[in-house]
Chains A and B, each alone.
Chain A
Amino acid sequence: MIGLKTLLQIQDLHTYFYLRKGISKVVNGLQLSVREGELLGVVGESGSGKTVTAMSVVNRVRMPGKVVKGKVIYQGQDLLKLSEEELRKYRGKEIGLIAANARGNLNPLVKVGNQIANVYLAHNKVNKKEAWEKAVEMLRMVGMNDALRRAEAYPHEMSGGMAQRVMIALALVNSPNLLIADDATNGLDVTVQSQIMDLILDIVNKQGASGILITHDLGVVAQCCSEIAIMYCGQIVEKGPVTAFFDEPKHPYSRNLLNSLPERRITQERIELKGSLSSPLSLPTGCVYQTRCPYVMDVCRKVEPSMLHVDDNYNVKCHLYQEKTENRGSANEKLA
Chain B
Amino acid sequence: MRIAKYLGKRLLTFIPLLIGVILVVFVLVRLLPGDPATRLAGNFAYGDTIAALRESMGLDKPIWQQFFIYLGNVLQGNLGESWFTNKPILDDLIVRFPATLELITLSILFSIAIGVPLGIVAAIKPKSIFSRISTGYGFFAGSIADFWFGLMLVFVFFTTLNWFPAPIGRLDLTITPPLQITGFLVIDSLLAGNWNALMNSIAHLALPVLTLGLINVAPIMKMTLSSMKEVMESDFINHAKVLGLSDKKVMRYALRNSLPSIVTILGVIYGSLLGGAVLVETVFGWGGLGQYVTQALVNKDYSAIQGFVLVATIFSLFIYLFVDLIYMIFDPRIKF
Q: Is the CB of A170 within 8 A of B243?
A: yes
Q: Is the CB of A88 within 8 A of B246?
A: yes
Q: Cα distance A2–B161 when bound, in Å?
A: 80
The interface bits of chain A over 88-131 (1 if a CB of B lies within 8 angstroms of the residue's CB, else 0) are: 11111100110101001111111000000011001100000000
**Chain A CB within 8 A of B241 CB:** yes
**Chain B CB within 8 A of A62 CB:** yes
Q: Which residue of B lies closest to A99 (CB)?
A: B239
The smallest C-beta distance from A141 to any residue of chain B, in angstroms, reads 17
Q: Which residues from chain A contact B330 at a C-beta distance below 8 Å?
A: 109
**Chain B CB within 8 A of A302 CB:** no
Q: Which residues from chain B contact A154 at a C-beta distance below 8 Å?
A: 332-333
Contact of A105 among B233, B239, B245 (CB under 8 A): B239
Q: Is the CB of B238 within 8 A of A107?
A: no
**Chain B CB within 8 A of A58 CB:** yes
Q: Is the CB of A108 within 8 A of B236?
A: yes
Contact of B238 among A60, A89, A108 (CB under 8 A): A60
Q: Is the CB of B331 within 8 A of A109?
A: yes
Q: Is the CB of B235 within 8 A of A101?
A: yes
Q: Is the CB of B253 within 8 A of A92?
A: no
Contact of A58 among B233, B235, B242 (CB under 8 A): B242
**Chain B CB within 8 A of A156 CB:** yes
**Chain A CB within 8 A of B30 CB:** no
Q: Which residues from chain A contact B239 at a C-beta distance below 8 Å?
A: 97, 99, 105-106, 170
Q: Cα distance A119–B245 when bound, in Å?
A: 6
The smallest C-beta distance from B239 to any residue of chain A, in angstroms, reads 4
Q: Is the CB of A60 within 8 A of B331?
A: no
The smallest C-beta distance from A171 to any residue of chain B, in angstroms, reads 8
Q: Which residues from chain B contact A62 at a C-beta distance below 8 Å?
A: 233, 238
Q: Is the CB of B333 within 8 A of A60?
A: no
Q: Is the CB of B236 within 8 A of A60?
A: no
Q: Which residues from chain B contact A90 at a C-beta distance below 8 Å?
A: 244
Q: Is the CB of A104 within 8 A of B243?
A: no
Q: Which residues from chain A contact B236 at a C-beta distance below 8 Å?
A: 104-108
Q: Cα distance A122–B234 when bound, in Å?
A: 20
Q: Is the CB of B249 within 8 A of A60?
A: no
User: Count the A residues whose beta carbon is within 8 Å of the partner chain — how many?
Assistant: 30
**Chain A CB within 8 A of B264 CB:** no
Q: Cα distance A94–B137 when bound, in Å?
A: 44
Q: Which residues from chain B contact A55 at a C-beta distance below 8 Å?
A: 242
Q: Which residue of A lies closest to B237 (CB)?
A: A107
Within residues 281 to 336 of chain B, which ones have a CB less than 8 A from any CB in chain A? 330-333
Q: Which residues from chain B contact A122 at a C-beta distance below 8 Å?
A: 243-246, 249
Q: Which residue of A lies closest to B235 (CB)?
A: A104
The smallest C-beta distance from A18 to any residue of chain B, in angstroms, reads 16
Q: Is the CB of B242 within 8 A of A97?
A: yes
Q: Is the CB of B240 within 8 A of A107?
A: yes
The smallest C-beta distance from B247 to any residue of chain A, in angstroms, reads 8
**Chain A CB within 8 A of B257 CB:** yes
Q: Cα distance A90–B242 when bound, in Å?
A: 9
**Chain A CB within 8 A of B125 CB:** no
Q: Is the CB of B243 within 8 A of A92?
A: yes
Q: Which residues from chain B contact A171 at a C-beta distance below 8 Å?
A: 243
Q: Which residue of A lies closest to B243 (CB)?
A: A92
The interface bits of chain B over 246-259 (1 if a CB of A lies within 8 angstroms of the residue's CB, else 0) are: 10010001001100
Q: Cα distance A99–B243 when bound, in Å?
A: 11
Q: Is the CB of B243 within 8 A of A97?
A: yes
Within residues 202 to 261 of chain B, which ones have a CB less than 8 A from any CB in chain A? 233-236, 238-246, 249, 253, 256-257
Q: Cα distance A96–B239 when bound, in Å?
A: 11
Q: Cα distance A108–B249 when bound, in Å?
A: 15
Q: Which residues from chain B contact A109 at a C-beta distance below 8 Å?
A: 256-257, 330-332
Q: Cα distance A156–B236 when bound, in Å?
A: 13
Q: Which residue of B lies closest to A97 (CB)?
A: B242
Q: Is the CB of B241 within 8 A of A60?
A: yes
Q: Is the CB of B333 within 8 A of A108?
A: yes
Q: Cα distance A108–B233 when bound, in Å?
A: 14
Q: Is the CB of A91 within 8 A of B235?
A: no
Q: Which residues from chain B contact A118 at a C-beta distance below 8 Å?
A: 245, 249
The interface bits of chain A over 151-173 (1 if a CB of B lies within 8 angstroms of the residue's CB, else 0) are: 00010100000000000001100
Within residues 42 to 101 of chain A, which ones have a CB less than 8 A from any CB in chain B? 55, 58, 60, 62-63, 88-93, 96-97, 99, 101
The smallest C-beta distance from B264 to any residue of chain A, in angstroms, reads 16
Q: Is the CB of B244 within 8 A of A119?
A: yes
Q: Is the CB of A91 within 8 A of B331?
A: no
Q: Cα distance A171–B246 when bound, in Å?
A: 16
Q: Cα distance A89–B243 when bound, in Å?
A: 10
The smallest C-beta distance from B27 to any residue of chain A, in angstroms, reads 45
Q: Cα distance A122–B246 when bound, in Å?
A: 7
Q: Is the CB of A110 within 8 A of B256?
A: yes
Q: Which residue of B lies closest to A55 (CB)?
A: B242
Q: Which residue of A lies closest to B260 (CB)?
A: A109
When A105-B235, A106-B236, A107-B257 are in contact, do A91 and B243 touch as well, CB less than 8 Å?
Answer: yes
Q: Which residues from chain B contact A107 at a C-beta distance below 8 Å?
A: 236, 240, 253, 256-257
Q: Is the CB of B332 within 8 A of A156?
A: yes
Q: Which residues from chain A contact B332 at a C-beta distance below 8 Å?
A: 109, 154, 156
Q: Cα distance A170–B240 when bound, in Å?
A: 10
Q: Which residues from chain A contact B238 at a C-beta distance below 8 Å?
A: 60, 62, 105
Output the residue of B233, B238, B240 with the most chain A CB within 10 A: B240
The smallest C-beta distance from B333 to any residue of chain A, in angstroms, reads 5
The smallest C-beta distance from A173 to any residue of chain B, in angstroms, reads 9
Q: Which residues from chain B contact A119 at a C-beta distance below 8 Å?
A: 243-245
Q: Could you list 26 A-B pairs, sorted by A, with CB under 8 Å?
A: A60-B238, A60-B242, A62-B233, A63-B233, A91-B242, A92-B243, A92-B244, A99-B239, A99-B242, A104-B235, A104-B236, A105-B236, A105-B238, A106-B236, A107-B253, A107-B256, A107-B257, A108-B333, A109-B256, A110-B253, A119-B245, A122-B243, A122-B244, A154-B333, A156-B333, A170-B239
9 A-B pairs besides A92-B244, A109-B256, A122-B245 with CB distance below 8 A are A92-B243, A93-B244, A96-B243, A97-B239, A104-B236, A107-B236, A119-B245, A156-B333, A170-B239
